[in-house]
Copies of this chain bind each other. A is one copy, B any other.
Amino acid sequence: MIKRIDFWFDFASTYSYLSALRIDPLASAKGVKVNWRPFLLGPVFAAMGWNDSPFNIYPSKGRYMWRDMERLCKYYGIPLRRPSKFPRNGIRPARIICAHQDAPWVPDFVREVFSAGFARDQDIGEREVVVGLLESMGLDAEVLIAVAESPEGKDRLRRQTEEAFNLDIFGAPTFIVGGEMFWGNDRLEQALAWTEGIHD
């Protein structure tokens, strides 16, 4: 049986950025397949009564989060440039992944998008930024975006976000291993250990 970890993330999420850049080597070392599952935190937060990131709604939490990110990025050796606008709108790249779930370029594209947003302060909500990222990877941006933004493409992300909701996901990143949920970049190692039957 192939061991698998479902990695639920939103491109606007700071801690998802850390996990997106860390997960592949850690999972490979354990022979675990990563299932990349973008979704939108917006509707999930809206159901909790929030119309913005909790890091904006609760300023003390926000101040702490950015300092925590600085420390963690230094520790992991991951670059960080605090975005001039937060949160960005990650719907466009999320749709692209949902519409091409099994494409071999998905993991690289996820890392490219996160790095654009959190290492280079690019606006990942802008079409031209996303086109640039896809083209830099040698992909046909126009075709991929057309598929992603077709009614069927849009519906895929909508359904994936509903699935997150039905799984009781309330934040990102969230990892699911065999029905067991782990929330937060802090829990990545614990989630991967769970794939090996280390259940505590």
Q: Which chain A residues have a beta carbon within 8 Å of chain B's beta carbons?
A: 48, 58, 60-61, 63-64, 67-68, 71, 74-75, 168-171, 181-184, 186, 190, 199-200
Contacts and interface: CB of A to CB of B under 8 A. Distances in A.
Contacts of A186: 184, 186
A169 B200 contact: no
A178 B76 CA distance: 22
Contacts of A168: 60, 63-64
A149 B183 CA distance: 40
Given A58-B48, A58-B170, A170-B58, A181 B74 contact: no
B200 A60 contact: no
B183 A68 contact: yes
B74 A169 contact: no
Nearest to A165: B60
Nearest to A50: B58
